[in-house]
Amino acid sequence: MIDVHPPHQVIHTWREYLLHMSTIVLGLLIAIGLEQSVEALHRAHEGQEPMSFTGMPNSA
């Protein structure tokens, strides 16, 4: 769940606005990158031990 907070002070200039927006974008990119890394590790781990339909590891 995303928790949105308003800025602590009023944004007066374009520079402050761009700094605020770039901080948000950077945080989102970091979060998405970490999520994709975890998914890739999870998929790699799943591929190491194939499972049958019964949920038991294949012995063949």
What would the pLDDT profile of 13-23 be if each residue is shown by its tens digit? 999 999 989 99
- pLDDT digit string (tens) for 18-45? 998 999 999 999 999 999 999 988 888 8
Q: How confident is the model at residue 7 (pLDDT cuts 50, 70, 90)?
A: confident
Longest dimension (CA), the chain: 68
H or E element at residue 48: helix 14-48
Residue 42 and residue 19: Cα distance in Å, rounded? 35
For residue 57, give every residue at least 6 positions away whose Cβ sits within 8 Å of its Cβ, in sequence order, or none: 49, 50, 51
The pLDDT score that the predictor gives to residue 33 is: 94
pLDDT value of position 58: 58
pLDDT at residue number 49: 61
pTM of the model: 0.62
